């Protein structure tokens, strides 16, 4: 592995980690709202939406912290990649069904007021970029300044 790749890996780790930490932190202070954001996708019954809505921000914070610390990087990046695939699929399905919702990505989500249009293309583009970072880290998990490296 070349040295610059480990620096690139560090950048990917910090970028992706910060995004996950921020997304989770915004939602974790109001878990009921997070559950409603999941419910707005109308993909699952309310009971399950509550479970997902509560667990998702907690996991986002966990994955974010792991990535920032560089601990279990490959596992954390794999979880992040799975999450991004699920988010992209969710947004695409909301788009396809003509729902008018806030994606609840970095906010608390829900139906948009009448007259306000969703911006699904931008949401998906951002998630594809984050997915690329996650895949890069799954393939090259060895990065600069990581706990993984200090322990080995």
Residues in contact with other proteins by the rule CB under 8 A: 30-33, 35-36, 39-40, 42, 45-46, 49-51, 54-55, 58-59, 62-63, 66, 71-72, 74-76, 79, 101, 108, 110-114, 148, 151-152
Beta bridge partners of 131: none
Tell me how far the alpha carbon of residue 64 is from its chain's centroid.
9
The smaller minimum CB distance to other proteins, of residues 128 and 135, is found at 135
- Residue 54 CB, shortest distance to other proteins, in Å, is 5
- Residue 46 CB, shortest distance to other proteins, in Å, is 4
Q: What is the three-class DSSP state of 122?
A: helix
The smaller minimum CB distance to other proteins, of residues 55 and 128, is found at 55
The smaller minimum CB distance to other proteins, of residues 42 and 119, is found at 42
Instruction: List C-alpha distances in Å: 90 to 10, 25, 124, 149.
Output: 29, 21, 10, 35
- Residue 29 CB, shortest distance to other proteins, in Å, is 8
- Residue 41 CB, shortest distance to other proteins, in Å, is 9
The smaller minimum CB distance to other proteins, of residues 65 and 129, is found at 65
Six-digit token string for 94? 């909301």
Q: Which phi and psi angles does 88 have, rounded to 5°?
A: -60, -45
Check if the beta carbon of residue 102 is closer than 8 Å to that of residue 122: no
């Amino acid at each position: 592995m070349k040295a610059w790749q480990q620096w690139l890996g560090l950048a990917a780790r910090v970028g992706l980690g910060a995004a996950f930490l921020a997304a989770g932190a915004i939602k974790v202070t109001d878990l009921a709202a997070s559950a409603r954001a999941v419910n707005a996708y109308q993909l699952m019954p309310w009971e399950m939406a509550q479970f997902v809505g509560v667990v998702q921000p907690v996991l986002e914070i966990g994955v974010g912290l792991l990535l920032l610390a560089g601990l279990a990087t490959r596992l954390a990046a794999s979880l992040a990649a799975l999450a991004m695939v699920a988010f992209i699929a969710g947004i695409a399905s909301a788009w396809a069904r003509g729902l008018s919702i806030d994606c609840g990505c970095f906010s608390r989500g829900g139906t948009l007021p009448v007259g306000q249009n969703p911006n699904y293309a931008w949401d998906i583009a951002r998630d594809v970029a984050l997915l690329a970072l996650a895949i890069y880290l799954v393939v090259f998990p060895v990065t600069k300044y990581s706990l993984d490296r200090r322990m080995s």
